[in-house]
Structure 1
Amino acid sequence: MWEDAGKAPKRIVPDGCVDLVESGDEVFVAGPDTTAWTWETPPGVRVRGVRFAPGRAGGVLGLGADELRDQRVFLGDLWGREGGLLAERVLCGAASLADIVAERRSGRADREVSELIARLDGGATRVSAALERFTTGERQLRRRFTLAVGYGPATYLRVTRFQRAIGLAGTAPDLASLAASAGYADQAHLSRDCREFAGVQAREFFRAKKCAMSTVDSYSAR
């Protein structure tokens, strides 16, 4: 669960997650992204959301995450009349987003997909290495992965590596060191992914990240 009451525009970069969001008079699903988008909370509006870990949204939403890739879909458009009624309940305070998740949750996560996600998150350098020693055939496992996560293992590997770089941004003295620590071949490799996923140059993006982290650390120390 998360909340946001900030007014400054935020650059949202891909992280492999799906979100169920309540914002103002809207309830919508934000699918897994492959590029950045800008979010600005309207004045006086508090935004709430439920974030599904990679591969875990399908059991609630009832469809493959690949159908939601790079999309924002209103609940009424997603679930028809039932979705419209659920959205009304949330907006009038009769139900919460967590209630919707609890009501609609069904089935279990795909064990092999979860294992493949864990391997990629754990620092696998190549998808082929992460796919070793599964009992399921590679083609079928890739298809199930795309259905659950929203894009294939190769794209997810790039996304999770970029997120790793973001997490390490406050500890690396320069971009070359950051690239090496996050598992990139070199600084140019990190720069290419940053342009694609964040839409800006790596130097600009990670400088802003460092400043944001410094501000939080300074505030926490008071």
Structure 2
Amino acid sequence: MYRETTASAGLGGVVRCLWEDAGRAPKRIVPDGCVDLVASGDEVFVAGPDTTAWTWETPSGVRARGVRFAPGRAGDVLGLGADELRDQRVPLGDLWGKEGALLTERVLDGAASLTDVVAEHRTGRGDREIAELIARLDGGVSRVSAALKTFATGERQLRRRFTLAVGYGPATYLRVTRFQRAIGLAGTAPDLASLAFSAGYADQAHLSRDCREFAGVQAREFFLARKCAMSTVDSYSAR
């Protein structure tokens, strides 16, 4: 139904993964700090970064595919700040005008792939300080202030550059990456309190709050559904 693959070495650092989805059931897409370039049906569009969940349903008989940019790197390809795309789905033609419309036709006709689009439009090598700050936030710090220490650049400027690159500020990103860590650990924790502790939350209440904001449902309902989905995949893979 859904699978992810690693991008070629030439796109390393810019692209987190490539993905395909042929499942028809509606999916709840929750924030992950990333921007995606997506081809589905008769459209090619840019999605995210998100601050709340949205519902995705692949049309019957359609295989959607996408390129998921690494956090902070979409601007190196798309040519604008990720904050301008926050919580939006923007057709490539609207983003790049005539060139975007022509590229959309080429991708949908099979004359070019999404990775071709990324490779042809990639510029720059990213912001090293922002990459370091993202790594620190992903590493499990409890507060943004701890991650901002020892940078040569002033905190205000660093926060501004982070928002431009990622789409929202370090505090929101820290919450998003912590929630994603909880999702990744959902199959191993016996209860929500243990899950919250393992993911780096102060307590279960903070996990529940983030789940309501980012997923739009209660934590118990969301993580139970995740466990059931993982069990179904494991059962299918074992056949």
Identify the TM-score tier after normalising by the shorter chain: over 0.9
**Equivalent residue in structure 2 for 1:69, among 75, 86, 90:** 86
For the pair 1:145 / 2:162, whether they are aligned, the reply is yes
Q: Kindly, what percent of the aligned residue pairs are identical?
A: 88
**Over residues 133-176 of structure 1, what are the superposed CA-to-partner deviations in whole Å (9 max), with x where a residue is unaligned?**
00010001001100000000000000000000000000000000
Which one-letter code corresponds to 1:8 in the other structure? A
Q: Which residue of 1 aligns with 2:222?
A: 205
1:158-195 residue CA offsets vs partner (Å, 9 max, x unmatched):
00000000000000000000001111111111000000
Measure, in 1, the Cα distance between the counterparts of 2:71 and 2:222: 24
Matches within 5 A, 1:3-82: 3-82=20-99
Deviation at 1:28, TM superposition (A): 0.3
Structure 1 stretches of 4+ with a deviation exceeding 3 A read none
Taking only aligned residues, the RMSD between alpha carbons, in angstroms, comes to 0.6
1:86 equivalent in structure 2: 103
Q: Which amino acid aligns with 2:144?
A: V
Residue 221 of structure 1: how far off its partner (Å) = 2.0
TM-score when normalising by structure 2: 0.92
Q: Which has the higher contact order (CA 8 A, sep 6+)?
A: 1
Aligned mate of 2:123, from 103, 106, 128: 106
Q: How many residues align?
A: 222
**How many angstroms does 1:79 deviate by?**
0.4
For the residues of structure 2 that align with 1:189 and 1:68, how far apart are their CA atoms?
27
Residue in 2 that maps onto 1:172: 189
Q: What is the one-letter code of the residue matched to 1:158?
A: R
Structure 1 residue runs without a partner (length 5+): none
Letter in 2 for 1:123: G
Q: Is residue 137 of structure 2 the alignment partner of residue 120 of structure 1?
A: yes
1:102 offset after TM fit, Å? 0.7
Question: TM-score when scaled to structure 1?
Answer: 0.99
